[in-house]
Structure 1
Amino acid sequence: MRKSLTHSLVLLVAVLGLLMVPTVTAEDPMVRLILFWDEACPSCKIVLKEILPPLEAKYGAQLEVAKLEISWVANYELLLKLEKEYQIPPERRGVPTIFIGDFYLVGEEEIEESLEPLIQHYLAAGGVDYPAEVGASPTSTASENAPAIYMAYFYQTGCRECDRAEHDLRYLQQKYPQVVVESFSVVEQASLAEWLGERYGVPEDRRLTAPAVFVGQDVLLDAQVNAEELLALVEKYAASGAEPTWQGWEQARNRATERIIARFRSFGPLTVLAAGLVDGLNPCAFATLVFFVSYLTLSGRKGREVLAVGAAFTLGVFLAYLVVGLGFYKVLDLLGDLLTTLGRWVYGLTALLCAALAVFSFLDFLKARRGDIGDMTLNLPHGLRMRINAVIRRGRKSQAFVAGAFATGVVVSFLELACTGQVYLPTIVFVMSQPEMRVRALLFLVLYNLLFILPLVVVFILVYYGTGSKQLTRFLQRRAAMVKLGMAMLFAALATWLTVSVVA
């Protein structure tokens, strides 16, 4: 009797377990996908620990995820193969990346937004298998006696292209042990970059850019630094090897330094001013600008408060670039991964805000077409604006908001540093280390930064005038529909632009 009772209890527990845990029968569809990730990637950790577990718990045995860490040669080769098959543009390649059926998802935000709908789509379609064989062996590597191939790799802190280039170079070293890569900061080793650039025939306006790889008689710059091009060079030098062509370059250091200084002298004030203005209009800087202007618009702040916040934010941007130019560049090396993660969050939040403003502006356009413009001049609807104001005023005093604007200006300037001054800023930073040129370099650095913040100054002045000028208000009321439609199109374009920047 005891044996029978025990047996019955075991059967009952087994039945309950089957009811509690999702199971798959032969008829149940299954979705199999591949996630490529990297141990040093913060976004990958979020996908692994926060995004995938709830989906795996929800779909149970109907969802199978192959999680492949790209430090393994076979995994990285599979990633390269799938990127080529799926025709992923070079500027979008990176980790985390998911391949599911006929689709690929790149980046934490895209995976979080689109993965579950794709899982549901393929379950409804009867399931989908892995897009490639998982666990395949890597292709053969070179023999142990192969001659060494030396490469000089130049990087810049915060450079997204450099992040992917470093993945490619690590893969190359694992696959071909004879590859030896020596890494140099293009800012700290500007003289070496200049010397190699002249020796390899690199145009002067590209000698201090990153990423860059010099090997044998060949050089790869910017987007050319990718796994396919690097593999081709390894095959080219597999039999003969490639000596470190930069050995003994110290004898020519003074000459290389003089060329950088000569190029710096050729800039002239107008050249530096133009460079600062152009860099101040780039996507990264414009994302920063839109972030605060949008927030000020949403919060309903006006007049002097806008000027105070704008001045604090602009001062933060100016001082951050000035400090970097004065030689505190090494601090950014310690924050490389953190800056990349913060940058994606800032641009992602800005994109969402721009998308919301595009919707509100289009709704205002429809109201204006009907002649209802009483509650939309340069603002959100009255009720929403009052609720936002109430939240802000309960949580922050004006002084704290100004301080927050200054701190944000500093932080976001570090985030956008890699998108600005690709030639001029590294040159000025290097020349600052030359005592005889320090005063002129400091002057040029100040001029560059002043023109860099000019778009911010103009926009904040326009916001101040727009929120405090009755004449402008009356003008906008007369042309409300046209203005609101233009704003909707502008914010929609910005949201798209920033989203592409995040997932790229």
Structure 2
Amino acid sequence: MIFLLSIRALFFYTPECSVCVEVKEKFLPQVIKKYHLEVEYLPVDTPENMQLLMEIEKKFQDYDNSLPVMVIGNHILGNEREIAQKLVPLLERGVEETGWRKGKRERYVLEQEVHAAYFYNPRCAECDRFEHELRYYERTYKGFRVHRYNLYEGDNMALLEAIEDSIGVPEKERLLVPVLIVDKFYLFELKGDTLGKILEFLGKKGASPFWKRLEKREESIIERFKTLGVLGVAFAGLLDGLNPCA
């Protein structure tokens, strides 16, 4: 068996991710010892690390990998299953040195504040990855304000439906998470630098939290129906029917 010695790999993770910690502490030590692998551990809570991961994904057109993510040679292994199944075969075949290095992080100041509504499911792996990318943009663009809504708390599902209806989101794409609403733009993923371009465009004129008006309207409608006795009970039943967690 022939393999290259002292191959360097990048391991992107977050300490809050139990799967990441398990791969880092239980799986990788055995591989490192047997194959003389050098691993650089890069928590994505650090903006420079998140930026590096996004640059690598853009280079290979391989986006939105669930954490943990491992980069070795020209290969991206996204999630624990890919790492467990593909890392050792790659090492045994031989891979090129990983030449990626962290670059200087640019920071921007928006002329006007840009507000965004982010809806998520706390048990969604894609949402977890989306959240870390959002934090990167919040730290990179001063004046970018993100308002977070758990889809399954309170009337947030009705609010999202109202927002998406107001900006013309197709019905088949509604109530999907993660989703970020910025002015008239809606993003289900943060491929490339789409969000950065949107922020630079909107930063000149600003973008208000327009959904706050919709939020108040939704609350007033619900309260009105609740005061109508029997009709209120029927309406409440309708709301529960629309809520998959009810």
Larger radius of gyration: 1
1:70 aligns with 2:44: yes
User: Distance between the aligned counterparts of 2:162 and 2:138, measured in 1?
Assistant: 25
Query: 1:34: which partner in 2?
Result: 10
Give matches, 1:412-427, under 5 Å. Answer: none
Query: 2:71: which partner in 1?
Result: 99
Task: Call closer, same or farther: CA 1:439–1:57 in 2, change over 3 Å.
Answer: closer
How far apart are 1:233 and its partner, in Å? 1.3
How far apart are 1:116 and its partner, in Å? 2.3
How far apart are 1:77 and its partner, in Å? 1.2
1:141 aligns with 2:107: yes
Runs of 4+ in 1 over 6 A off after TM superposition: none
Q: Report Cα offsets for 1:107-148 as digits up to 9, x if no partner.
A: 2222123222322322xxxx732231x23222x2113x7422
User: Distance between the aligned counterparts of 1:70 and 1:237, measured in 2?
Assistant: 26
Q: Report Cα offsets for 1:459-478 as digits up to 9, x if no partner.
A: xxxxxxxxxxxxxxxxxxxx
TM-score by length of 2: 0.80
Higher helix share: 1
How far apart are 1:250 and its partner, in Å? 4.3
Q: Report Cα offsets for 1:145-202 as digits up to 9, x if no partner.
A: 7422110111134333322221221111121132111111233312321321222122
Structure 2 unaligned spans of 5+: 224-231
User: Distance between the aligned counterparts of 1:155 and 1:86, measured in 2?
Assistant: 27
Query: 1:162: which partner in 2?
Result: 127
Higher strand share: 2
How many percent identity over aligned positions?
28
How far apart are 1:55 and its partner, in Å? 2.4
Task: Call closer, same or farther: CA 1:236–1:249 in 2, change over 3 Å.
Answer: same
How far apart are 1:227 and its partner, in Å? 5.7
Q: Report Cα offsets for 1:263-284 as digits up to 9, x if no partner.
A: xxxxxxxxxxxxxxxxxxxxxx
1:252 aligns with 2:206: no
User: Distance between the aligned counterparts of 1:48 and 1:89, measured in 2?
Assistant: 22
TM-score by length of 1: 0.41
Task: Call closer, same or farther: CA 1:114–1:195 in 2, change over 3 Å.
Answer: closer
1:208 aligns with 2:175: yes
Q: How many residues align?
A: 231
Structure 1 unaligned spans of 5+: 1-27, 259-433, 449-504
How far apart are 1:82 and its partner, in Å? 1.1
Give matches, 1:15-414, under 5 Å. Answer: 29-59=5-35, 62-88=36-62, 90=64, 93-122=65-94, 128-132=96-100, 134-138=101-105, 140-143=106-109, 146-187=111-152, 188=154, 189-220=156-187, 222=188, 224-226=189-191, 228-253=193-218
Query: 1:302: which partner in 2?
Result: none
* CA RMSD after TM alignment: 2.9
In structure 1, the residue corresponding to 2:195 is in which secondary structure? helix
Q: Report Cα offsets for 1:406-430 as digits up to 9, x if no partner.
A: xxxxxxxxxxxxxxxxxxxxxxxxx
Say whether the 8 Å CA contact 2:74–2:96 is kept in structure 1: no
User: Distance between the aligned counterparts of 2:22 and 2:31, measured in 1?
Assistant: 13
Amino acid of the structure 2 residue aligned with 1:230: L
User: Distance between the aligned counterparts of 2:60 and 2:185, measured in 1?
Assistant: 29
Task: Call closer, same or farther: CA 1:247–1:135 in 2, change over 3 Å.
Answer: same
